[in-house]
Copies of this chain bind each other. A is one copy, B any other.
Amino acid sequence: MCELLGMSANVPTDICFSFAGLIRRGGETGPHRDGWGIAFYEGRGLRAFHDPLPSADSRIAELLIAYPIKSRVVISHIRQANVGDICLANTHPFSRELWGVMWCFAHNGQLDRQLFDWPLTYYRPAGTTDSEYAFCWILDQIRAHYPDAPPQDPSALVELVHDCCEKLRGLGVFNMLLSESTQLFCYCSTKLSWITRRAPFGEAHLRDRDMSVDFYKETTPNDIVTVIATEPLTDNEQWQRLAPGEMVVFVDGEVERQISSQDGAGR
Protein backbone atom coordinates (compact mmCIF):
# COMPACT_ATOMS: atom_id res chain seq x y z
CA MET A 1 0.00 0.00 0.00
CA CYS A 2 1.02 3.57 -0.45
CA GLU A 3 0.52 6.90 1.22
CA LEU A 4 -1.35 9.82 -0.29
CA LEU A 5 -1.05 13.49 0.56
CA GLY A 6 -3.08 16.30 -0.95
CA MET A 7 -3.65 19.98 -0.31
CA SER A 8 -6.27 22.50 -1.39
CA ALA A 9 -5.94 26.14 -0.33
CA ASN A 10 -7.40 29.54 -1.13
CA VAL A 11 -3.96 31.17 -1.32
CA PRO A 12 -0.66 29.78 -2.59
CA THR A 13 0.65 27.81 0.38
CA ASP A 14 3.67 25.62 0.90
CA ILE A 15 3.27 22.04 2.00
CA CYS A 16 6.75 21.65 3.51
CA PHE A 17 5.47 20.75 6.98
CA SER A 18 3.11 17.99 5.86
CA PHE A 19 5.57 16.72 3.30
CA ALA A 20 8.29 16.51 5.96
CA GLY A 21 6.01 14.15 7.86
CA LEU A 22 4.98 12.11 4.85
CA ILE A 23 8.43 11.38 3.51
CA ARG A 24 9.53 9.81 6.77
CA ARG A 25 7.07 7.06 5.92
CA GLY A 26 9.14 6.42 2.80
CA GLY A 27 11.70 4.14 4.42
CA GLU A 28 11.89 5.36 8.04
CA THR A 29 8.62 5.33 10.00
CA GLY A 30 6.83 3.47 7.20
CA PRO A 31 7.64 0.74 4.66
CA HIS A 32 6.98 2.77 1.50
CA ARG A 33 10.45 2.59 0.00
CA ASP A 34 9.55 2.28 -3.67
CA GLY A 35 9.62 5.84 -4.87
CA TRP A 36 7.68 9.00 -4.32
CA GLY A 37 6.38 11.99 -6.21
CA ILE A 38 4.76 15.35 -5.67
CA ALA A 39 2.97 17.66 -8.09
CA PHE A 40 2.23 21.34 -7.56
CA TYR A 41 -0.25 23.36 -9.57
CA GLU A 42 0.65 26.97 -10.22
CA GLY A 43 -2.26 28.38 -12.19
CA ARG A 44 -2.78 25.98 -15.08
CA GLY A 45 0.83 24.89 -14.88
CA LEU A 46 1.79 21.68 -13.13
CA ARG A 47 5.25 20.88 -11.88
CA ALA A 48 6.01 17.45 -10.63
CA PHE A 49 8.99 15.89 -8.93
CA HIS A 50 9.40 12.13 -9.14
CA ASP A 51 12.02 9.88 -7.65
CA PRO A 52 12.10 6.08 -7.78
CA LEU A 53 14.37 6.18 -4.69
CA PRO A 54 12.99 6.02 -1.13
CA SER A 55 11.80 9.45 -0.08
CA ALA A 56 13.58 9.26 3.27
CA ASP A 57 16.95 9.11 1.42
CA SER A 58 16.09 11.37 -1.50
CA ARG A 59 18.06 14.56 -2.06
CA ILE A 60 15.21 15.94 -4.12
CA ALA A 61 12.78 15.34 -1.25
CA GLU A 62 15.25 17.01 1.10
CA LEU A 63 15.36 20.07 -1.15
CA LEU A 64 11.55 20.26 -1.27
CA ILE A 65 11.31 20.34 2.53
CA ALA A 66 13.67 23.30 2.62
CA TYR A 67 12.45 25.09 -0.52
CA PRO A 68 8.87 26.24 -0.12
CA ILE A 69 6.99 25.95 -3.40
CA LYS A 70 3.69 27.72 -2.97
CA SER A 71 0.65 26.21 -4.60
CA ARG A 72 -3.11 26.02 -4.17
CA VAL A 73 -3.44 22.37 -5.19
CA VAL A 74 -0.86 19.68 -4.42
CA ILE A 75 -0.90 15.91 -4.87
CA SER A 76 1.81 13.69 -3.42
CA HIS A 77 2.39 9.97 -3.08
CA ILE A 78 4.91 7.60 -1.62
CA ARG A 79 4.90 4.11 -2.95
CA GLN A 80 5.12 0.59 -1.66
CA ALA A 81 5.00 -1.38 -4.88
CA ASN A 82 2.51 -4.14 -5.46
CA VAL A 83 1.56 -4.10 -9.16
CA GLY A 84 4.34 -2.89 -11.46
CA ASP A 85 8.12 -2.74 -11.06
CA ILE A 86 9.94 -0.03 -9.17
CA CYS A 87 10.85 2.42 -11.88
CA LEU A 88 10.21 5.99 -12.90
CA ALA A 89 7.35 5.13 -15.27
CA ASN A 90 5.49 3.57 -12.34
CA THR A 91 6.04 6.48 -9.95
CA HIS A 92 2.96 8.56 -9.04
CA PRO A 93 1.53 11.13 -9.46
CA PHE A 94 0.62 10.62 -13.11
CA SER A 95 -0.54 13.40 -15.40
CA ARG A 96 -2.39 13.77 -18.68
CA GLU A 97 -3.95 16.70 -20.54
CA LEU A 98 -7.69 17.04 -21.15
CA TRP A 99 -9.45 20.24 -22.34
CA GLY A 100 -6.11 22.06 -22.27
CA VAL A 101 -5.60 21.44 -18.56
CA MET A 102 -3.19 19.02 -16.99
CA TRP A 103 -4.91 16.43 -14.82
CA CYS A 104 -2.95 14.85 -12.03
CA PHE A 105 -3.64 11.61 -10.16
CA ALA A 106 -2.31 9.41 -7.37
CA HIS A 107 -3.71 6.16 -5.99
CA ASN A 108 -3.40 4.05 -2.88
CA GLY A 109 -4.61 0.47 -3.06
CA GLN A 110 -4.64 -2.46 -5.40
CA LEU A 111 -7.09 -3.47 -8.10
CA ASP A 112 -7.92 -6.85 -9.61
CA ARG A 113 -6.08 -7.64 -12.83
CA GLN A 114 -9.36 -7.71 -14.77
CA LEU A 115 -8.96 -3.91 -14.79
CA PHE A 116 -6.45 -4.38 -17.62
CA ASP A 117 -9.28 -5.75 -19.80
CA TRP A 118 -11.30 -2.55 -19.50
CA PRO A 119 -10.95 -0.81 -22.88
CA LEU A 120 -9.01 2.43 -23.27
CA THR A 121 -9.60 4.87 -26.10
CA TYR A 122 -7.77 8.18 -25.75
CA TYR A 123 -5.26 7.63 -22.97
CA ARG A 124 -2.80 4.82 -22.42
CA PRO A 125 -0.46 4.07 -19.56
CA ALA A 126 3.29 4.50 -20.03
CA GLY A 127 4.05 2.23 -17.08
CA THR A 128 2.62 -1.06 -15.84
CA THR A 129 0.71 -0.11 -12.69
CA ASP A 130 -2.97 -0.68 -12.07
CA SER A 131 -2.99 2.93 -10.83
CA GLU A 132 -1.97 4.60 -14.07
CA TYR A 133 -4.32 2.31 -15.99
CA ALA A 134 -7.20 3.36 -13.73
CA PHE A 135 -6.28 7.03 -14.23
CA CYS A 136 -6.32 6.61 -18.02
CA TRP A 137 -9.67 4.83 -17.77
CA ILE A 138 -11.22 7.62 -15.66
CA LEU A 139 -10.00 10.31 -18.08
CA ASP A 140 -11.30 8.22 -20.97
CA GLN A 141 -14.77 8.19 -19.38
CA ILE A 142 -14.67 11.95 -18.78
CA ARG A 143 -13.50 12.62 -22.33
CA ALA A 144 -16.13 10.29 -23.82
CA HIS A 145 -18.87 12.22 -21.97
CA TYR A 146 -17.42 15.69 -22.43
CA PRO A 147 -15.00 15.65 -25.37
CA ASP A 148 -14.44 19.38 -25.74
CA ALA A 149 -15.06 21.13 -22.45
CA PRO A 150 -16.26 20.47 -18.93
CA PRO A 151 -20.04 20.22 -18.46
CA GLN A 152 -21.90 23.47 -17.75
CA ASP A 153 -23.09 21.98 -14.49
CA PRO A 154 -19.96 21.20 -12.41
CA SER A 155 -21.87 18.67 -10.32
CA ALA A 156 -22.28 16.48 -13.42
CA LEU A 157 -18.50 16.10 -13.56
CA VAL A 158 -18.27 15.32 -9.86
CA GLU A 159 -20.94 12.65 -10.21
CA LEU A 160 -19.21 11.12 -13.19
CA VAL A 161 -15.87 10.94 -11.36
CA HIS A 162 -17.59 9.45 -8.31
CA ASP A 163 -19.31 6.89 -10.48
CA CYS A 164 -15.97 5.88 -12.06
CA CYS A 165 -14.41 5.55 -8.61
CA GLU A 166 -17.25 3.37 -7.41
CA LYS A 167 -16.75 1.04 -10.37
CA LEU A 168 -13.02 0.86 -9.66
CA ARG A 169 -13.68 0.14 -5.99
CA GLY A 170 -15.52 -2.94 -7.21
CA LEU A 171 -12.08 -4.27 -8.24
CA GLY A 172 -10.31 -3.77 -4.93
CA VAL A 173 -8.92 -0.94 -2.85
CA PHE A 174 -9.10 2.46 -4.50
CA ASN A 175 -8.24 5.55 -2.48
CA MET A 176 -7.40 8.37 -4.84
CA LEU A 177 -6.55 12.02 -5.31
CA LEU A 178 -7.31 13.69 -8.65
CA SER A 179 -7.19 17.30 -9.82
CA GLU A 180 -7.47 19.51 -12.88
CA SER A 181 -5.82 22.51 -11.17
CA THR A 182 -8.78 23.96 -9.24
CA GLN A 183 -10.82 21.06 -7.88
CA LEU A 184 -9.26 18.35 -5.73
CA PHE A 185 -11.29 15.13 -5.95
CA CYS A 186 -10.64 12.88 -2.94
CA TYR A 187 -12.19 9.43 -3.05
CA CYS A 188 -12.03 6.96 -0.19
CA SER A 189 -12.20 3.22 -0.53
CA THR A 190 -10.66 2.29 2.82
CA LYS A 191 -8.54 5.11 4.28
CA LEU A 192 -8.44 8.85 3.73
CA SER A 193 -8.56 11.68 6.28
CA TRP A 194 -8.62 15.43 6.03
CA ILE A 195 -8.35 18.56 8.11
CA THR A 196 -9.16 22.16 7.25
CA ARG A 197 -7.06 24.79 9.00
CA ARG A 198 -8.36 28.36 9.24
CA ALA A 199 -8.28 31.25 11.72
CA PRO A 200 -7.78 31.05 14.63
CA PHE A 201 -4.70 29.02 13.71
CA GLY A 202 -2.85 26.97 16.29
CA GLU A 203 0.16 24.75 16.58
CA ALA A 204 0.37 21.35 14.94
CA HIS A 205 2.78 18.54 15.77
CA LEU A 206 3.77 15.79 13.34
CA ARG A 207 3.22 12.15 14.23
CA ASP A 208 6.19 10.96 12.14
CA ARG A 209 8.95 13.25 13.36
CA ASP A 210 9.40 15.59 16.27
CA MET A 211 8.47 18.74 14.42
CA SER A 212 5.87 21.37 15.12
CA VAL A 213 4.65 24.39 13.27
CA ASP A 214 2.71 27.33 14.58
CA PHE A 215 0.37 28.12 11.70
CA TYR A 216 -0.56 31.40 13.37
CA LYS A 217 2.91 32.68 12.48
CA GLU A 218 2.84 31.23 8.97
CA THR A 219 -0.55 32.39 7.75
CA THR A 220 -2.83 35.37 7.34
CA PRO A 221 -6.31 35.43 8.96
CA ASN A 222 -8.06 34.73 5.65
CA ASP A 223 -6.11 31.61 4.73
CA ILE A 224 -8.03 28.37 4.39
CA VAL A 225 -5.89 25.29 3.89
CA THR A 226 -7.11 21.70 3.72
CA VAL A 227 -4.72 18.78 3.94
CA ILE A 228 -5.78 15.25 2.96
CA ALA A 229 -3.76 12.14 3.81
CA THR A 230 -4.06 8.39 4.02
CA GLU A 231 -3.59 8.64 7.78
CA PRO A 232 -3.64 11.80 9.90
CA LEU A 233 -0.23 13.46 9.79
CA THR A 234 -0.48 15.28 13.12
CA ASP A 235 -1.21 13.94 16.60
CA ASN A 236 -2.76 17.01 18.24
CA GLU A 237 -5.51 17.95 15.78
CA GLN A 238 -8.89 16.47 14.90
CA TRP A 239 -8.88 14.93 11.41
CA GLN A 240 -12.05 13.78 9.68
CA ARG A 241 -12.14 10.35 8.10
CA LEU A 242 -13.96 9.74 4.85
CA ALA A 243 -16.29 6.77 4.73
CA PRO A 244 -15.84 3.97 2.18
CA GLY A 245 -17.32 5.07 -1.13
CA GLU A 246 -17.30 8.73 -0.15
CA MET A 247 -15.86 11.49 -2.29
CA VAL A 248 -15.13 15.03 -1.16
CA VAL A 249 -14.24 17.72 -3.67
CA PHE A 250 -12.26 20.68 -2.35
CA VAL A 251 -11.95 24.06 -4.04
CA ASP A 252 -9.94 26.88 -2.46
CA GLY A 253 -9.56 24.79 0.71
CA GLU A 254 -13.32 24.45 1.24
CA VAL A 255 -15.60 21.46 0.73
CA GLU A 256 -17.30 22.12 -2.59
CA ARG A 257 -19.18 18.86 -2.83
CA GLN A 258 -19.47 15.66 -0.81
CA ILE A 259 -21.00 12.45 -2.22
CA SER A 260 -21.58 9.22 -0.38
CA SER A 261 -21.63 5.79 -1.88
CA GLN A 262 -24.90 4.94 -3.62
CA ASP A 263 -24.89 1.57 -1.95
CA GLY A 264 -25.38 3.24 1.40
CA ALA A 265 -21.94 2.33 2.70
CA GLY A 266 -21.13 6.03 2.99
CA ARG A 267 -22.33 8.30 5.76
Contacts and interface: CB of A to CB of B under 8 A. Distances in A.
B126 A44 contact: yes
A44 B89 contact: yes
A50 B47 contact: yes
A101 interface: yes
Interface stretch (A16-24, A91-99, A167-175): A91-99
Interface in A79-118: 87-91, 96-97, 99-102
Contacts of A44: 89, 126-127
Contact of A43 (B47, B89, B97): B89
A122 interface: yes
Contact of A45 (B42, B45, B59, B90): B90
Contact of A100 (B60, B102, B126): B126
Contacts of A102: 126
A51 B69 CA distance: 10
B124 A122 contact: no
Nearest to A120: B100
Nearest to A124: B100
A239 interface: no
B46 A49 contact: no
A220 B44 CA distance: 43
